[in-house]
Chains A and B, each alone.
Chain A
Amino acid sequence: MKRNSFWGASFTASVIIAIVLLVWGSPSVAANDQPSAAIAVVKIDNFVFGPQTLTVPVGTTVTWTNKDDIPHTTVSTDGVFKSKVMDTDEQFSYTFTKAGTYSYYCSVHPKMTGKVVVQ
């Protein structure tokens, strides 16, 4: 029950993020060729984090979405953030409040690695 409500909340949050992206986020990315000010996304597809390196301004919330049929995680190498297991289409978000380079990997498939550069 607890899990369900967690994922329910997470799902609701992700829908809101998706709507925000649709209405406002994506076009601005396309138009300026710059990361959007507050929101960025990483898609997990075919056991790859895409983009593998994401550069964003301080304060950006990054949302990872698992598009695979296999569960994945997003875990900071330095212990800064750690997602729960994401099954297909589940998401994890983290807001980067400090500049720096954040390496992360999938703790289930550690060959999968990625980086968020916060400027």
Chain B
Amino acid sequence: MTDKKQDLIDQKLQDLNNDGVDRRGFLKCMAWAGTGLVWTMSGGIPKSRAFAKTADHSAVKGADFTFVQISDSHIGFNKPANPDVTATLQTAINKINAMPQKPDFIIHTGDLSQLSKPSEFDTLDQVLRGASAKQVYFVPGEHDMLTDNGEQYLQRYGKGTKGAGWYSFDHKGVHFVGLVNVANLKAGGMGSLGHEQLEWFEDDLKGRPASTPIVLFAHIPLWTIYPEWGWGTDDSEQALSYVKRFGSVTVLNGHIHQIMQKVEGKVSFHTAMSTAFPQPAPGTAPSAGPMKVPADQLQRVLGITDVNYLVSGRSLAVVDSPLGDSGASSAGGGGSTSGS
């Protein structure tokens, strides 16, 4: 079973290589949705492997703290790909509440709503109130800033933030930075951080020891996954140049509704599944629109990401789990990324 999974992962790596995604020598990519994925780093050597129920949970057990990333809830979306996105968000919350170690907080990487409607934000708030972790950190997705340049988003979720909603905070020795790359997008471009935010970001990191673990989170990927679909951020290179001196950098993104991982030096990139609907693997469909999957398979391609931080052992584990978890390890990865 493990071999079969490894084959699947290798196949995905191969596919990505052929797609030209892996274009810089030492880049490693993994596209996969359907079961789980553990990412560990120890002594600066990152490793990815499939997450199975039989997998070694030591990194999880000894974690100093855990947090969960959820993304792309698109509350208000009601089309055939998933007519009840509130229910699948609720399932995600139930999954979080069932975790053996209560997460310290939740990070939502944007697209809370489908159309930035107050009622959609209200519903999201209501569902999130049921989570065991009461602290939720947000960054906006483009769907959250549709009507009023993000004013409403800022009022609800951006108190105390700068500019379009960027901010940083520290938690048990880890420095977290929430970046906004969905505001003031330029014709023909991809995601954008903008000059003002970049300046703030550079300043925010100043004086922090290089040993401080850094976690960046933003909606659109901060690495170029597929420019044809705008899956990248035009000025992310500059942002990433500011974190080069740090020994451990983790970048968490949403937007593309599927898991992708890349490790580049000491920086690991990770995108999360959506809690609402899957999107096709890069280039496998005419557009990045919602991918329709049979109802009984939907929960395999939606999910949450929990991150276990093991400060003492210099380890970090990212575990993605689909909402429909029963028999996940034998689900064979679902083949969902190629099922468009």
What residues of B have a CB within 8 angstroms of the CB of A107 in the complex? 185
**Complex Cα spacing A104 to B186, Å:** 11
B143 within 8 A of A: yes
**Complex Cα spacing A110 to B229, Å:** 10
Nearest CB to that of A75 among chain B residues?
B187
Instruction: Tell me the B residues contacting A by CB distance below 8 Å.
Output: 77, 79, 81, 114-116, 142-143, 146-147, 185-190, 227-230, 286-290
What residues of A have a CB within 8 angstroms of the CB of B230 in the complex? 109-111
Within the complex, the shortest CB–CB distance from B140 to chain A, in Å, comes to 12
**Complex Cα spacing A70 to B288, Å:** 10
Judging by beta carbons under 8 Å apart, are B115 and A110 in contact?
no
What residues of B have a CB within 8 angstroms of the CB of A109 in the complex? 142, 230
> Interface size on A (CB < 8 Å)?
22
Checking B79, B143, B185 against A69 with a beta-carbon cut-off of 8 angstroms, the contacting residue is B79
What residues of B have a CB within 8 angstroms of the CB of A73 in the complex? 146
Within the complex, the shortest CB–CB distance from A91 to chain B, in Å, comes to 16
**Complex Cα spacing A47 to B230, Å:** 11
What residues of A have a CB within 8 angstroms of the CB of B227 in the complex? 111
**Complex Cα spacing A107 to B143, Å:** 11
Among residues 55 to 112 in chain A, which have CB atoms less than 8 Å away from a CB atom of chain B?
Answer: 68-71, 73, 77, 84-85, 87-88, 103-105, 107-111
Judging by beta carbons under 8 Å apart, are A85 and B185 in contact?
no
Judging by beta carbons under 8 Å apart, are A105 and B288 in contact?
no
Judging by beta carbons under 8 Å apart, are B187 and A110 in contact?
yes
Judging by beta carbons under 8 Å apart, are B287 and A47 in contact?
yes
**Complex Cα spacing A104 to B116, Å:** 22
**Complex Cα spacing A68 to B290, Å:** 9
Judging by beta carbons under 8 Å apart, are A110 and B147 in contact?
no
Nearest CB to that of B141 among chain A residues?
A108
Judging by beta carbons under 8 Å apart, are B287 and A48 in contact?
yes
**Complex Cα spacing A3 to B290, Å:** 25
Checking B146, B147, B188, B190 against A105 with a beta-carbon cut-off of 8 angstroms, the contacting residue is B188
Beyond A46-B289, A47-B288, whether A111 also contacts B189 by CB under 8 A is yes
**Complex Cα spacing A105 to B227, Å:** 16
Checking B81, B114, B146, B289 against A47 with a beta-carbon cut-off of 8 angstroms, the contacting residue is B289
